[in-house]
Structures are given as C-alpha cells and as structure tokens.
Amino acid sequence: MRVLLRNPRREIEIEGPLSVNALLDHFEFQRESVLVIRNGTLVPGTTKLKHEDEVEIRPVISGGT
Amino acid sequence: MRCRVCLGEVVIELPRHNAAFCPDHFTKFCRDQVAKAIKEFDMINEGDRCLVAVSGGKDSIAIWDILLELGYAADGFYVGLGIDDYSDVSGQYARKFAAERGIKLIEVDLREQYDYDIPQAAAKSNRVPCSSCGLSKRHLFDKAALDGGYDVLVTGHNLDDEAAVLYGNVLRWQVEYLARQKPVLEAGNGLPKKVKPLVRLTERETAAYCIIKGLDYQVEECPMAAGNKHLQFKEALNRAEEASAGIKNAFYFGFLRNALEPFERAVADGYSSSGIETPVVLGACIRCGSTSSAEVCAFCRLVENTAGAKPT
C-alpha cells in the first residue's frame, strides 16, 4: 500500500494487508502522536488495511507555545 | 470495537477514556469537553465577545469551530509571521475558515506593519525562534483584544501543550510561571481575559475533530520549531501516556487541584526563584502604551532591534 508520511512529506510503499497498529509499529510511531487516515477517512488502530488502500499517517504534535 | 454511545462503527479510540467513538459522537464528545472546561473554569459568560487567536493549525481552527457551534460570538485574529511558505499556507487556512462562514478575521502582518519577521527576529536576537514568535504573538493578541473591545481572548492551547509546559516548569521549578499556569487569566493591569477552552482535549483529539469535520488546517510542522524543547517534552509525556493511559490528564488537572494554589500564594507573598525580592512594578510602555515592567516593553525593544533588517 502507498503510505503518505509528513514532516518531511514523502510516500512509501509497504506490503499489505496489515492492521493500523501494526503499521504504526512498523514505523515506530507513538500511538498518541499520530492519526491514520485511509482513503480519506480516519480509522482506529484495529482496522485492517488492504494492500490497495491509500494511507496517510498524520502527525498531531505541534511545537511552540 | 463499537461506539460507546450508539454502538456504530468507530473512527477513533481514546484509551484515556477507555472509549471509542463514531464520527458524530466523537465531535459531540469534543464539544462537550470544551463546554465542560468553559463552565468549570468560568471562561466565557453569556453574551461575551470572543477573539480567537488563529494560527491556521488544528487547535485554533478546532476551537474556533467548536465555539461557533456552541453559539458563542467569536471573531478570529491572525498574525502573519513571515516564516516562508509556512506562514502563507497557514494564513490561507485561517482566511478560508472565516470566508466560508462569513465571519470576521482580523489580520496583522509583521513584515508589512512592523517591518520585521520571525526568521529575522531570531537571527538578530540570537535566541530560539519560538521566543521571538511567542513574544510577538502575545503582544499582538493582547493589543487586538483590547483595541477591539473583546471580553475574552481565546487561545488553542490543548492538554498536551499545558502538560508539556507544566513538565518543563516543574523540572526547573519555575515558581513564578507555575503560579500563572492556569486555564484562565483574568483581565487586569491593562491585559485582556485569556482562556484555554481546549485544556480537556489532547492534540490527537483536536486533529481528529478537524479531520472528521473536514476542516482544512496547516498539517506541516513550523520549520522553525525543529528541536523545540516543548516537542521533546511532549514526546516524553506521550511515552508515559502509552504506558499509563490518562497520565497527562492526571498530571495537569492534579496540578490545578493540588499544587497551583501554594505557588500562587508564594508569589503573591513576594517569593522569587532568583532569591532577589524585587517587587514588579507595572507601568505603561513609553512607545506603545502597553503594560510593561520596563520603560520600553519587550515587544517594542524587539521591533527596534529588528525592524528594517534584510529578510533572511
């Protein structure tokens, strides 16, 4: 599946299917630090992603106060 | 896993609440949390005119939307910081939100109106960019709220922001800062009332709110925030959160309940962490008239030291 990552913006192909949580583990993301969007829709950690899905891992941590 | 309310299909899990929600009940959850914070801390009274400090990021867009949904009168205020494309895109999101709803967005552009920008200020001051940025925004937010006769200045600080600042202040025992770390600062001494209605929501939750509601916001991180200590504090707290769901909430609200008051009392009694008891005398800046403990306020000094320099 094609995975969009941010900061910096880049796209990476990885083999599916796999769960959202497994995808986050693959990239070593903290669960609290990102959201996962599949084909434009937010999905929870238990969702099974198909190989043909387009997925974005969106960071939610912003700096500065 | 099913929505806690309707048993529908979930889009987000919230381990700290041991819950999961469908889109509609998650956005309701967010509105309820904001309404609860406003009531609990007496943030906004009926009929108050609110000015929302809008950066174009998820938090300020989310709180502006939620306040409007809750029926509050809320205009926006945006500061163009001059941080390359990042500021251009951020401003577009703020303008788009206002234009789509036909609501007022007041804008100030640092370069156009004060002849400097944040990259320049950081270079000239030899300090981290967030320092000049925060100073500029605080001054201009206060000024806009006072000039516009607004009752309340609303900022998009969320639970992660507050917990990270608290973490830093505790690690260094910044007593004076700890005494002021409240979700509401009342008006006084020439400053407007300031409130943080997102303190009951994490930034993962405010981002999810925007995505579910289709609210466009600046996703990319500010290029000048790289290495910012607050980002590192947030990462540390998120590691703790993964090990113990709800720990950020317990840390921040536990502080408000159990520890804030002694710090407030100590500072009111003249305590100084530097050990030098010099009572702060507030007056008016001789340049701009804003509240200041110095003859010329920090913002006017920043402008004087930076304005006119070549853009970086």
Residue of B nearest to A8 (CA): B220
Partners of residue A9 in chain B, C-beta under 8 Å = 220
Are A61 and B242 within 8 A, CB to CB? no
Tens digit of pLDDT at every position of chain B (312 positions) = 899 999 999 999 999 999 999 999 999 999 999 999 999 999 999 999 999 999 999 999 999 999 999 999 999 999 999 998 889 999 999 999 999 999 999 999 999 999 999 998 988 887 888 899 999 999 999 999 999 999 999 999 999 999 999 999 999 999 999 999 999 999 998 999 999 999 999 999 999 999 999 999 999 988 888 778 899 999 999 999 999 999 999 999 999 999 999 999 999 998 887 776 666 778 999 999 999 989 999 999 999 999 776 555
E-assigned strand segments in chain B: 12-14, 19-21, 49-53, 73-80, 105-109, 152-154, 184-185, 193-195, 283-284, 291-292
Are A41 and B165 within 8 A, CB to CB? no
Rounded distance between C-alpha atoms, residue A6 and residue B222, angstroms: 12
Residue of A nearest to B160 (CA): A61
**Residue located via tokens 């000024």:** B143
What are the backbone dihedrals phi and psi of residue A28, each rounded to the nearest 5 degrees, phi first?
Answer: 60, 45
Are A32 and B207 within 8 A, CB to CB? no
- Would you put residue B269 in left (φ > 0), alpha (ψ -120 to 50) or beta? alpha
Partners of residue B130 in chain A, C-beta under 8 Å = 63-65
